[in-house]
Chain A
Amino acid sequence: MMQLFVFIVAGAMVLGGAVGVVLRTHPVHAALSLVLTLFGIAVLFIAQDAQFLAAVEVIVYAGAIVVLFLFVIMLLGIDRAEDLHVEPFKIQRPVALVIGAGLVSLLGIAVIASRQHPVPTVTPSQAVTDALADPHDGNIRALARDVFSDHVLAFELTSVLLVIAVVATVILARKPRKGETYITSGSAQ
C-alpha cells in the first residue's frame, strides 16, 4: 500500500515536472520544473533500494547541474519568456507529438510483451554479494565494491573526462583578450 502510494506520488512529480519543462515558456520556470522531476526520480531511486544514487541525484543534478542552468540564465540575462505561439515550421509540432506517442507505444509494447520472459541469472562476485547482505549500508558497500574493483579503470577515466570538460568550458566561455581574435572566416567579430 505504502509502496503504491509512494510510486504514484513520485511518478506524478516526475511526469508533472517533465511536462513543465517542455511547456513553461520562461527558462527559470523550466529549470525549477526540472528540479521537481529530479526529486521525484530520487524518491523512486530510494523506493528501489538505491539510496546512494538518490543522494547523488539530489546533490549532482538538483544541486549542481540545475544551479549551473540558473547561473547561465542569469549571467546572460536571457530570462524572458519565449513565445510558444511562434511556430517556424507548421508541421513540426504534430510530427513531434506523433513521434513521442509512437515512441511511448513502442516502448510500452516491448516492456509489456517481455514481461513473461525469464529473468537472466546474474551472479555477482562474492564481495558484492557479501556487501549487499549488510542490512545497514549494503547498497553503498556493494556499489563501492563494484565501482572500485570491476570498473576502476572507467572510474579513473571519468576524472580525466571531467578535467577535460572543465578546461574546455573555461576556454570556450572566456572573452577573447584585446587584440586577440578567434580564427574566423567571413563573419568578423
Chain B
Amino acid sequence: MIAVAQPTTTWYLLLSALLFAIGVVGVLVRRNPLVLFMCIELMLNAVNLSFVAFAKRMGDIGGESTVFFVMVVAAAEVVVGLGIVVSILRRTPNATTDDLSELKG
C-alpha cells in the first residue's frame, strides 16, 4: 500500500491564491469591459473556494453561508455592471476600458 498524499486545506488555499492572481492579472491586462467582469468573477470564485476550504477545515457551516451571500452579491454586481456596459457600448461601440473615463450619459 503506497501512502498517497491527500489534498489538504493548504492545497485548496494555494489553488485559490493562484486563481485569484490570474483574475487580478486579467483585470490589469485586458481592455474589453466584458472580459474584465469575467476576471472579477474569477476572483470571487477564488475567494469562495477558500471559504469552503476553511468551512470544511473548521467544521463550521458559517463559511458556506458566507459563500451563499457572496454568490447573491456577485449576481447583483454582474447584473448592474452589464447594464452599464450595455448602455455605454450602445453609445460608443467597440469601447475599451481606455475610453471609459466617465460615467455620465
Contact = CB atoms under 8 A, between A and B. Distances in A.
Contact of B69 (A30, A142, A151): A151
Contact of A107 (B20, B45, B61): B20
A154 B71 contact: no
Interface string B80-105: 10111111011101101010000011
| Secondary structure of the A contact surface, majority rule | helix
Contacts of B94: 78
- Interface size on A, as a range, is 35 or more
A151 B65 contact: yes
A107 B23 contact: no
Interface in A132-189: 132, 139, 142-143, 145-147, 150-151, 154, 158, 161-162, 164-166, 168-170, 172-173, 175, 182-185, 187, 189
B93 A104 contact: no
Given A7-B7, A108-B17, A173-B86, A65 B29 contact: no
Interface residues of B, number: 75
| Secondary structure of the B contact surface, majority rule | helix
Contact of B61 (A21, A47, A143, A166): A143
Nearest to B67: A53
The listed residue with most A CB atoms (<10 A of its CB), out of B38, B60, B61, is B61
List the 8 closest pairs (A to B, CB-CB), nearest first. A169-B83, A96-B28, A107-B17, A182-B105, A172-B83, A7-B7, A165-B76, A100-B25
12 contacts: A21-B26, A34-B38, A34-B42, A47-B7, A50-B55, A57-B71, A65-B78, A68-B79, A69-B34, A146-B64, A147-B65, A147-B68
